[in-house]
């Protein structure tokens, strides 16, 4: 028994010594790595790189340079987001590593015998350089790297760089043509919206409603926004009927079509279709240039479901020249006034005792009226709250010609008149410039300066006698009982 115990103790001592030796060896390697000189893994410049190849457990990617741009070749052929590719490549080229051993043969000790992460770049003249990255951590979250026969320790950045996915560098933007958009169509079947606007010189027109004035600024905003639209992600690489039906795109909620200047054929020359998801916070879309289905933000349909009213000139109903106004008639619950402008000042016939026209309020009222705009065009038959109108204002020029007449009535909530769930408060408004009843934000009318446009005439200060002291009446005793 004593001999057995001695043997056991001896074995434990030997094991401890061996373990300590291995520990010291590994620690020495790590210390050497920590103290080693750092080298760039790829000593090329960004402009020299012709191809980027990455392989990892979740797949990989191959990106090639085509002129001044990049293109994804694997796992699918597609445009890339060149900014994302350039950022990815710059990160790779900036990586440095510390040499542990120039001629290593024990790759299994560092998780590099069968590494699943490989990065390869093709530089000038087709020269290839590659590295393999170990999943085994060295120290401080750094990674062991194999480059030929060299063993190195690289930074913790490889945890992300080595796992880059193709979808992260793919172009998520839908529209890519540099041709000018000369017409577009918006269809929203569930809301019975179907409008087409065409460019006619410097103006945009609706062939369905040729008399409607379109605001070019609203068209520019829509075409810029829709033509630069980006998806969130990619969900399928096929657009067969059964795939479209799976995502509800066989019955889209929104269709946007473009006609392009100089493009072949009658058109439309480009389109995209969008479907709200049945549940969740996303939608799906595809477009005419790719057999790909994209994930898009849940509000995409709402964002682009524009009606004709959204493109109308919202300032037109209130357009007049403020400087031309020479006569103003205002009727409200509080007043019924007619003002005339003479010699640059506003006057009122037979003003109430002690009252005069407030010149600043009149100017403010006219200026604010010229700044009003419609929030919604409700149609000519809308607006029960205008029967009869509660308030009105009429502006005329020097010849007595009407510049603007406007009446407004009770307020209403947007959802009472429109296909919306908005509780926004608006007034029913009519003007002489358009046939439609308008919806104008309540605060815009409530903030109009002056309900009466009159003010108290300032009292004159008591005249001072030549001696400088103000004249005063002699004090008289108050009658008794007045306290």
Rounded-to-integer distance, Cα 435 and Cα 119, Å? 67
- Neighbouring CB atoms inside 10 A of 369's CB total 21
- Terminal-residue alpha carbon distance, the chain: 124
Written as six digits, the tokens of 136 are 């085994």
pLDDT of 207 strictly over 80: yes
Does the CA dihedral 389-393-397-399 come out positive or negative?
positive
Q: Where are the domains of the chain?
A: 37-169, 181-311, 316-456
pLDDT of 26 strictly over 60: no
Region 188-205 average pLDDT? 95
Q: What is the pLDDT of residues 431-482, one digit of tens each?
A: 999 999 999 999 999 988 766 788 998 887 766 666 555 544 444 444 444 4
Q: What are the angstrom distances between the C-alpha of 137 and each of 1, 143, 155, 300, 357?
A: 45, 5, 10, 43, 84
Q: What is the pLDDT of residues 34-84, one digit of tens each?
A: 455 688 999 999 999 999 999 998 899 999 999 999 999 999 999 999 999
Sheet holding 193-200, edge to edge: 203-206, 193-200, 181-188, 254-260, 270-276, 282-287, 293-297, 233-236
- Neighbouring CB atoms inside 10 A of 80's CB total 22
């Amino acid at each position: 028994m004593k001999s057995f115990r001695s043997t056991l103790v001896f074995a434990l001592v030997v094991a401890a010594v061996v373990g300590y030796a291995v520990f010291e060896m590994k620690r020495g390697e790590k210390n050497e790595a920590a103290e080693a000189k750092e080298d760039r893994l790829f000593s090329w410049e960004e402009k020299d790189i012709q191809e980027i190849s990455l392989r990892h457990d979740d797949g990989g990617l191959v990106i090639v340079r085509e002129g001044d741009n990049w293109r994804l070749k694997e796992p699918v052929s597609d445009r890339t987001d060149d900014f994302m590719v350039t950022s990815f490549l710059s990160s790779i080229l900036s990586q440095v590593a510390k040499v542990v051993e120039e001629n290593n043969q024990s790759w299994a000790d560092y998780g590099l015998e069968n590494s699943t992460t490989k990065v390869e770049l093709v530089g000038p003249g087709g020269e290839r350089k590659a590295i393999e990255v170990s999943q085994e951590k060295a120290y401080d979250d750094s990674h062991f790297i194999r480059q030929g026969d060299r063993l190195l320790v690289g930074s913790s950045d490889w945890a992300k760089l080595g796992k880059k996915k193709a979808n992260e560098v793919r172009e998520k933007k839908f529209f890519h043509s540099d041709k000018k958009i000369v017409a577009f169509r918006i269809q929203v079947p569930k809301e019975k919206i179907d409008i087409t606007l065409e460019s006619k010189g410097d103006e945009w027109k609706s062939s369905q409603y040729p008399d409607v004035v379109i605001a070019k600024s609203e068209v520019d905003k829509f075409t810029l926004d829709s033509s630069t639209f980006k998806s969130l992600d990619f969900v399928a690489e096929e657009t067969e009927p059964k795939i479209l039906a799976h995502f509800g795109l066989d019955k889209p909620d929104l269709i946007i079509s473009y006609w392009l200047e100089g493009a072949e054929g009658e058109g439309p020359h480009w389109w995209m279709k969008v479907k709200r998801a049945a549940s969740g916070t996303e939608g799906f879309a595809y477009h005419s240039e790719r057999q790909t289905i994209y994930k898009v933000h849940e509000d995409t349909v709402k964002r682009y479901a524009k009606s004709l009213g959204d493109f109308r000139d919202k300032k037109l109903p209130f357009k007049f020249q403020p400087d031309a106004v020479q006569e103003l008639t205002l009727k409200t619950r509080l007043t019924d006034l007619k003002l005339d402008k003479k010699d640059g000042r506003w006057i009122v016939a037979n003003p109430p005792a002690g009252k005069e026209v407030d010149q600043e309020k009149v100017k403010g009222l006219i200026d604010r009226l010229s700044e009003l705009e419609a929030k919604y065009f409700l149609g000519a038959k809308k607006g029960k709250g205008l029967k009869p109108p509660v308030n009105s204002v009429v502006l005329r020029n020097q010849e007595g010609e009407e510049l603007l007449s406007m009446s407004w009535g009770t307020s209403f909530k947007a959802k009472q008149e429109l296909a919306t769930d908005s509780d926004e408060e608006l007034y029913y408004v009519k003007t002489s410039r358009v046939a439609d009843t308008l919806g104008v934000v309540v605060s815009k009318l409530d903030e109009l300066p002056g309900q009466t446009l009159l003010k108290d005439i300032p009292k004159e200060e008591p005249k001072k006698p030549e001696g400088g002291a103000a004249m005063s009446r002699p004090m008289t005793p108050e009658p008794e009982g007045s306290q």
